[in-house]
Chain A
């Protein structure tokens, strides 16, 4: 297998793996037919719009698990605006690269993060700072 040592480390010791009890947002991307499913939980500090806590659950290959781990690590503590700026290249860089056929896993992890944030921003009836650029 052409996985880097960093990928294998995240696969063996995933960061932020698990659930958040009362999350502010949840997203699920991927589908069983393609083999990979990622779920992301967010806890957001409403005062400063920062990601206070983030957890993931993933059914997928080694790369999918490693990408989930890295994306949560990268997003944690960031403002929603900055978290939405994260892209697949940052994930790939942090993992020391992925085999060509696994690059889509990094895209899936970004999709999961962005979906959770966007779902949160669309949620009505909640006090939150909406002055945020949702373009990514």
Chain B
């Protein structure tokens, strides 16, 4: 059975060209990028080149890029770094990725004043709610660019512009951060337009290797490090450079800047729209998140009288990989915090299914998915006491 991978928001398959670019840095240019000899210099040149590519992509300076192990580390470093003294006010949202949400909750426990903004019913953040929450001691606003579960996109540039205006009259400037992990492949990442002080990105969501991420940090911004040890990344993120992964990350970013990129997104959008249209023809199926303000690869469906994990399992047994916001799949006792924050009732949140497309998916796969989905939904509803 040919397997179908519809879980690209979780991770993506590495691009062949990315893998190829990495290989020499495992066994040929394997030096420590901080060493002075030629082995080290070659490795460092690779790191600097990757940094240059990423800085072009974000429209910033190379020295404004900090490499980390991924988005979890980036977001932890930024939030914990800004609030290293556990003072001041943080504004974030209720539907952030756990690596922001749980860090914010940790800061709250340690004495930071935290405001959690609820998204609107359509999964988009109302900027007015953020502006209204701003206090005199607000230090950081952290809003995700695109949501990882429902794919909804918030207007980061608008929020950034307003914060910039407010900062002109403020002594205590507000820093603005966006977790752009999901948006990176699909949306404008120009930090001059987004007007952010921090932007987190991750390699394995964009066909690069796992274990490498980065964040943009505007020049002259102060941040306390999480770890101490080396001079790497200006002391903000010490530790020997993961050179092959950095090379791969740079290559993955380069692919987004290529000419074919727009076409790739168009193709995904077509498949997405087909799946949404066909799925909604099934009785008791709804779309979670805004129909328009959403990523081109995200479909999040709600199935009445179906438990998401059982649907995920049915599909998996047919060779189709998706994701669900059901508690039963998470090991925790409550349903997806994202869906609940959007006002979806727990009994319905259990019946959610996320299909996240990637550049390797085809329309044929989408057609097979719809057939399998209809069959699986029929079977599971047959099992259910509610008909």
Set of chain A residues within 8 Å of B328, measured between Cβ atoms:
35-36, 60-61, 63-64, 102
| Interface range for A | 20 to 34
B346 at the A interface (CB under 8 A)? yes
Task: Tell which of B80-88, B283-291, B303-311 binds the partner.
Answer: B303-311
Residues of chain A with a CB closer than 8 A to B309's CB: 61-62
B317 lies within 8 A of A60 (CB): no
Say whether B347 contacts A60, CB under 8 Å. Answer: no
Check A11 against B326 for contact (C-beta < 8 Å): no
Is B234 interfacial (CB-CB < 8 Å)? Answer: no
Q: Which of A26-34, A75-83, A122-130 forms part of the interface with chain B?
A: A26-34
B310, B331, B347, B382: the one contacting A32 at CB < 8 Å is: B347
| Contact among A28, A33, A57, A65 with B310 in the assembled complex (CB-CB below 8 Å) | A65
CB-CB nearest in chain B for A104: B333
From the candidates A17, A58, A61, A63, name the one contacting B326 in the complex (CB within 8 A). A61
B326 and A59 contact, CB distance less than 8 A: no
Hey, what's the 0/1 contact readout for B342-375 against A, CB within 8 Å counting as 1?
0000110010000000000000000000000000
Interface of A is mostly: mixed
Q: How far is the CB of A89 from chain B (nearest CB, A)?
A: 21
Is A101's CB under 8 angstroms from B331's CB?
yes
Q: Is the CB of B383 within 8 A of A59?
A: yes
Tell whether A58 pairs with B385 under 8 Å between CB atoms, given A1-B316, A34-B327, A35-B327: yes
Given contacts A28-B385, A33-B347, contact A59 B313 (CB under 8 A): no
Q: Which residues of A contact B275 (CB under 8 A)?
A: none
B256 at the interface (CB under 8 A from A): no
With contacts A35-B326, A35-B335 known, is A59 near B316, CB below 8 A? no
Note all chain B residues with C-beta closer than 8 A to A57.
Answer: 383-385
The closest CB in chain A to the CB of B379 belongs to A12
Interface code A1-45, partner B: CB below 8 Å = 1, 0 otherwise? 101000010011010010000000000100011111111000000
Q: Complex Cα distance A36/B380, Å? A: 13
Give Cα A38–Cα B384 distance, bound, in whole angstroms.
8
- Which residue, of A38, A59, A64, has the highest number of chain B Cβ atoms within 10 A? A59
Given A34-B333, A35-B350, A12–B317 Cβ distance below 8 Å?
yes
When the two chains form the complex, which single residue of A14, A28, A34 contacts B383, counting CB atoms closer than 8 Å? Answer: A14
Mask of A92-106 contacts with B, CB within 8 angstroms, 1/0: 000000000110000
Taking a contact as CB atoms under 8 Å apart, the answer to whether A65 and B385 are in contact is no
- Distance from B77 Cβ to chain A, minimum over Cβ atoms (Å): 31
Min CB–CB distance B81 → chain A (angstroms) = 34
**Residues of chain B contacted by A8 (CB below 8 angstroms):** 313, 317
Alpha-carbon distance between A34 and B346 when the two chains are bound, in angstroms: 8
Interface membership of B223, Cβ < 8 A: no
What are the 4 A-B residue pairs with the smallest beta carbon separation, nearest first? A32-B347, A61-B328, A57-B385, A61-B309
Some 21 contacts from A to B, beta carbons below 8 A apart, are A8-B317, A17-B383, A32-B347, A32-B350, A33-B346, A34-B327, A35-B307, A35-B328, A35-B335, A35-B350, A39-B385, A58-B385, A59-B307, A59-B384, A60-B307, A60-B310, A61-B326, A61-B329, A64-B310, A101-B331, A102-B328
Binding site for B on A (CB under 8 A): 1, 3, 8, 11-12, 14, 17, 28, 32-39, 57-65, 101-102
